[in-house]
Chains A and B, each alone.
Chain A
Amino acid sequence: MSRASRRQYHARLRSALDNRFLGQTLARFQNRYAQARQAAMQGVDFEALSREVVEVKDAALPRLEELYGQFKAAAQAAGAKVHLAADAEQARQIIADIAARAGVKSIVKSKSMTSEEIHLNAYLESQGLEVVETDLGEWIIQLRNEAPSHMVAPAIHLSCSEVAELFCGVTGQEQDPEDIASLVEVARQQLRRKMLSADMGISGANFAIAETGTLATVTNEGNARLVTTLPRVHVALLGLDKLVGDLDSALKILRILPRSAAGQLISSYVTWVTGAVECAAAPSGAKELHIVFLDNGRLALSQDPVFAEALRCVRCGSCANVCPIWGKVGGHTYGHVYIGAIGLVLTYFYHGVEAARELAKNCLNCQACKVNCPSGIDLPRLIKGVAGRLNQQEGAPLKNQLMRQVLTNRRLFHFLLRRAYLAQKPLAHGERLIRHLPSFFTGEHGFRSLPVVAASPLRDRWPSIAPPLAEPKLKVAFFGGCLNDFVYPEQGEALLELVRGKDIQLDFAAEQTCCGLPAAMASEEETAREVARQNIAALDAENHDHVLTLCASCASHLKHAYPRLLADDPAWRLRAEALAAKVIDCASFLQDVVGLAALPEGGPKAAYHAPCHLCRGLDVHRAPRHLLAEAGLEYLSYEDEEVCCGFGGSFSLDFPELSAAILARKLDQVEATGAEMLVTDCPGCVLQLEGGLDQRGSSIKVRHLAQALAEAQRRAKD
């Protein structure tokens, strides 16, 4: 069963990747969004505003039932009728009943993700009702019989000419395939007529204010105002998670929502409706207003210790806008109804295992969504959490079982790594990269060459290259990490070259093992905890000034994941925190602790790739670029410097087609800079970038930051 669904999912990914127009549209969208967002965030403290949203939401979520009661009382006092639907079916039924009782024939809708969630249109149509979406993007996809591909911009996967063709059919008239303004005009005229004659309007809502029983809707087109004003009956459908206590809470969310959604300071219209307002079209002279709240798992979710924070989502869509995967395939393959990172989480809770199974694995853990989420949701962690639950329910894949056995047993693990050297030897033909993979690995996986495991790992070389110092001024615990230790020992050697003569002692504890990130990525939390304890014991942070690693992913995992993984373990929690406090990345260490002498200009032209776990995981941006420039390299920048390279550890094995596509976008930009060297500070990124450039036959050399700097020093000495 699961193999068939995997095959199908990969086929859909493939066809999305093969759609050239889609790729271009999404790339353009992501670029424009990034610029607009940056401009809209100018002069505001995103973190502070986001913290306020978190506070507001975290105050509301544990007491949704109470807020619902309060809202209901206030709204009913203002003449509304308030309903609570336990699930999608009930919600559809409630709305169909309202329509039947009120003798409704035609319905106009403004945008509501909640109505998408319950597949409302299809049901109402099956009841013989005419349903017309009035948000331009929603109308377009309704006419095409498609689902939205984005929560804010539902038709963003379509070109102007496709829309023109569609509107030709609607109007029976030729449409200029390049004239967007005239297409908007067609929609304005067609939909104005529908709105004026409809019996019922259905809207969503962005907030429900418990204190006053008010619904607020945020739109740009103005259709929500017309849909809530013109027809005699108004049904608002919204999730219980939209409840907030008071106006102040709503304003706090409103301050960041449009900035985050579209790079706007505020949307054109924010509409606040309290109760059954005047309506000349209604027989009573007052609107018939029904407010339908949908539970569909929300109340249970709001009590979940891990996943409750998913309900903080304010549906800004930003987690799709910044996601490298969404940017390649769009929302039809990267989401179910809810799209992007939050879609990967909510699908499991709202639409079940079948819909969620393949989606939940499809995440690079690049953290881009997390740092951009105005609601402070740790999306990649929740995505891994969903994948973990799916493993529990359906049985973990074989690789997880192997991982449990191998990773927790350091001797066995390292024995296997050493054996890998012998196994790879015949494939490498004496080179450092394997260009042609054995046949069971070809096809999708051939986009990058793979490095060979080194003949002797860094740990074996250490005693001879880093002998103990008599009276060091600093003692640093060095954490190798698997790639650095067993595949790229030369990176560690370069580091030692840079600290030589600085009175800094670097200790390599032999008992250290894999940091455990691969286990966490595979949702094997228990394994991740076990290796965390082993490493904490081995590294002995209490007796060192710093814990240094050349791998940004390891650094971020040691620093952020260890304290979280061991939070409930009284014996280890404090040690995990002590270690976390001392973790330092290569660039910060070289710049702030070691201090390197500036070198004359004239070094190679170098582009830089910022590892996800360095720039977002550790918030380090300036140090590596500064070090390169100080060492005399000519630093050349490009747009996507801080976008993921597509590696993501085992992600690149599970989704080679996506990994390749994301890598290609990066390498195209790097090549366009004219750089001779590509520098980064994570061995995982080195593997991906070097392998990809090698397959392209490129002459650009890939270097770890430590290597680039050591080479610069050598060059300066010559």
Chain B
Amino acid sequence: MDDLIALFTQQARAVSATVEPVADLAAAFDYAARLTTGQGGCLAAPGWGEGETESLAEACAGAGVELVTSGLRQEVGRFTVGLTRAQYGVAETGTLVLDSADEQVRLASMLSEAHVAVLPLAKVRQDMFALEEELAAILSASPGYMAFITGPSRTADIEMVLTLGAHGPRQLHVLLLEDAS
């Protein structure tokens, strides 16, 4: 397990993601709220349960951050940080698997300047093939939209020079959640 997490962390950092351990969801919410303070003050966090949204709202209030959880098409350009929960992690490549059938999740993770994803430690696997059954289950949802996300958006289209933040988020923060209960 520790090896898997170490590999995931190393690979995700190698593609310019920020990886931080968090003890519990409350810590993750604090992290997102704090990050948003420095980035314009509006956080998009769709797809969380009722109780979770409540404690996130508290964290946001404490940090002086506005929270939006739905209707994100109307909020484009206002929210700068998107907070989502990843279903799985792939250690070999430092990849997140994000079930994005919910359009709001897509908008939050694509149109933000920084994407913060919470990934439960227990959901990290060695490679795509070790996850095949789980992925097939997500795919069998019809209609469905699944995203593999590895590092922030990037381009090397001009003179082959790597530049981050082409069309998607400029930053990707992965919060490794120890206690997912």
Contact = CB atoms under 8 A, between A and B. Distances in A.
Contact of A184 (B15, B140, B151, B166): B166
Contact of B107 (A160, A229, A255, A262): A229
A160 B159 contact: yes
A25 B147 contact: no
B47 to A, nearest CB: 12
A693 to B, nearest CB: 32
B128 interface: yes
Interface in A129-165: 134-137, 140, 153-156, 158-160, 163
A209 B138 CA distance: 14
Given A220-B166, A267-B150, A251 B132 contact: yes
A187 B166 contact: yes
B153 A221 contact: yes
A618 interface: no
Given A221-B153, A269-B168, A184 B163 contact: yes
B41 interface: no
Between A159, A262, A272, the greatest number of chain B beta carbons within 10 A of the residue's beta carbon is seen for: A272
Interface in A267-285: 267-281
A303 B102 CA distance: 41
B154 interface: yes
Nearest to A247: B136
A78 interface: yes
B158 to A, nearest CB: 5
Contact of B157 (A140, A265, A275, A279): A140
Interface in A229-285: 229, 247-248, 251, 254-255, 262, 264-281
A265 B168 contact: no
Interface string B144-181: 11111111111111111101011111000000000000
Interface string A172-184: 0000000011011
Interface string B74-104: 0010000000000000001111000001110
Contact of B158 (A155, A209, A269): A155
A78 B142 contact: yes
Between B145, B147, B150, the greatest number of chain A beta carbons within 10 A of the residue's beta carbon is seen for: B145
Given A223-B166, A274-B141, A266 B155 contact: no
A425 B111 CA distance: 75
Between B76, B140, B144, B157, the greatest number of chain A beta carbons within 10 A of the residue's beta carbon is seen for: B157
A222 interface: yes
Between B151, B163, B165, the greatest number of chain A beta carbons within 10 A of the residue's beta carbon is seen for: B163
Contacts of B165: 184-185, 188
A220 B153 contact: yes
A192 interface: yes
Contacts of A276: 143
A692 B141 CA distance: 64
Contacts of B155: 136-137, 184, 220-221
B110 interface: yes
Contacts of A77: 142
Query: Could you say which interface size class chain A belongs to?
Result: 35 or more
B145 A274 contact: yes
A393 B52 CA distance: 71
A153 B143 contact: no
A78 B103 contact: no
A589 interface: no
A26 B165 CA distance: 25
Interface residues of B, number: 49
Given A180-B161, A222-B168, A278-B101, A270 B147 contact: yes
A286 interface: yes
A79 interface: yes
Contacts, number: 172
Contact of B145 (A222, A272, A281): A272
B116 to A, nearest CB: 16
A29 interface: yes
A160 B158 CA distance: 6
Given A135-B157, A160-B158, A220-B155, A277 B144 contact: yes
Contacts of A274: 139, 141-145
A229 B103 contact: yes
Given A77-B142, A254-B128, A266-B150, A180 B163 contact: yes
A220 B163 CA distance: 11
B167 A134 contact: yes
Contacts of B76: 196
A140 B169 CA distance: 21
Interface string A706-718: 0000000000000
A226 interface: yes
Interface string A50-76: 000000000000000000000000100
B135 A247 contact: yes
Contact of B159 (A159, A225, A226, A270): A159
A192 B167 contact: yes
7 contacts: A156-B157, A156-B160, A188-B167, A220-B166, A225-B110, A265-B92, A268-B152
Given A226-B167, A272-B139, 5 more contacts: A180-B159, A183-B158, A226-B111, A266-B150, A275-B142
